Amino acid sequence: GFAEPFKGPTSAPKASMAAKKPKVIVTRKLPDPVETRMRELFDTELNVDDRPMTADELVDAMGRCDVLVPTITDRLDSRLLSRAGERLKLIANFGAGVDNIDVATANQRGFIVTNTPGVLTEDTADLTMSLIMASTRRIVEGAAVVQAGGFQGWSPTWMLGRRLWGKRLGIIGMGRIGQALARRGAAFGLSIHYHNRKPVSPRVAEELGATYWESLDQMLARMDIVSVNCPHTPATYHLLSARRLKLLQPHAVVVNTARGEIIDEGALANMLARGEIAGAGLDVYEHEPAVNPKLLKLPNVVLLPHMGSATVEGRIDMGEKVIVNIKTFMDGHRPPDRVIPSML
């Protein structure tokens, strides 16, 4: 294509029109319509190969651009940000979660941080519901039998899972995604329970018919299905610790489409292996892309490769959000999706 490779030689000073456009460096390959629009609007440097940038390449990029568009695969910690150049003004994350960025340090250094909330809510809730269904109804296990040519015919006692209707779903984190999951869960006949820093508004609680548990411990002990839907922050790291996981009932199932760090993955794997809980559906891992080897050997888990927001529509919408944030900021206004540390 006509895109510049991100490691290309520094080009000569641009003509006056181009010079007015902000220099935007995108760290990964984004959907074509997003990249096309970015190139129209900004002086954009794309990553056509989609190879994740090294720490040194990120520092180099931050020294040469007004706006960096990173993703979850770019770890912008305080050490790296302290090496960032003077030119950088905005870090417009392609993604809702910003745990890959030390937002406080970024702000101290004068870099605004934005994210892409709202546009991946329904897709992520769909994937969460899929994991709930897959892990209770053994969907992946059953599909694997047929694909391996092993279907021997119907049997009254074979491939039995567990009924969803009438069970209790406990949602940890009742933000946009938690609420979207609650709606789906209610439609499947689940009773909806949640733990959050504070209760949702009475109007939302009534609409969702959701029961608030101030004590996560007490909620965990009473749920059939537990879903993690909160952001990863210092306060939620290992929120599902070994101690808390032990509060779950043996027939309970845990699903996570948020961030792996929220669950003690080693403790979860051990409990699954010992049959102390019934199953798990995971889309995210504590040390991504590594997956705890114990999990890989278990039959009672459904493991997906971080694809909660992976729809064509969702990824284009995310890109559009990034563009709106950059444009608004460059026009001298507060970008709509600014993240401030007190929100985290």
Contacts to ligand 8YV by CB under 6 A: 71-72, 94-97, 120, 308-309
**Whose Cβ is closer to ligand 8YV: residue 138's or residue 321's?**
321
Which residue in the list 39, 244, 259, 315 is annotated as catalytic?
A: 259
Closest distance between ligand 8YV and the C-beta of residue 324, in Å? 16
Concatenate the DSSP letters of all residues of 214-270 into one string: S-HHHHHHH-SEEEE-S---TTTTTSB-HHHHTTS-TT-EEEESS-GGGB-HHHHHH
Closest distance between ligand 8YV and the C-beta of residue 46, in Å? 16
**Whose Cβ is closer to ligand 8YV: residue 27's or residue 136's?**
27
**Whose Cβ is closer to ligand 8YV: residue 120's or residue 272's?**
120
Which residue in the list 4, 288, 320, 338 is annotated as catalytic?
A: 288
The residue sitting closest to ligand 8YV, measured at its beta carbon, is 95
Closest distance between ligand 8YV and the C-beta of residue 191, in Å? 28
Q: Is 192 helix (H, G, I), strand (E, B) or coil?
A: strand
- The DSSP H or E segment spanning 77 is none
**Whose Cβ is closer to ligand 8YV: residue 95's or residue 178's?**
95
276 is catalytic: no
**Whose Cβ is closer to ligand 8YV: residue 57's or residue 207's?**
57
- The DSSP H or E segment spanning 39 is helix 32-41
Closest distance between ligand 8YV and the C-beta of residue 107, in Å? 19
Which residue in the list 39, 176, 306, 315 is annotated as catalytic?
A: 306
Diameter of the chain by CA atoms?
Answer: 75
Closest distance between ligand 8YV and the C-beta of residue 319, in Å? 11
83 is catalytic: no
Residue spans of beta strands (DSSP E) within the chain = 23-26, 43-45, 67-69, 90-92, 112-114, 168-172, 191-195, 210-212, 225-228, 253-256, 279-282, 301-303
Give the span between the Cα atoms of 120 and 313, in whole angstroms.
9
Which residues fall within 8 angstroms of residue 204, CB to CB, at 6 or more apart?
Answer: 179, 210
333 is catalytic: no
Q: Which residues form the catalytic set?
A: 259, 288, 306
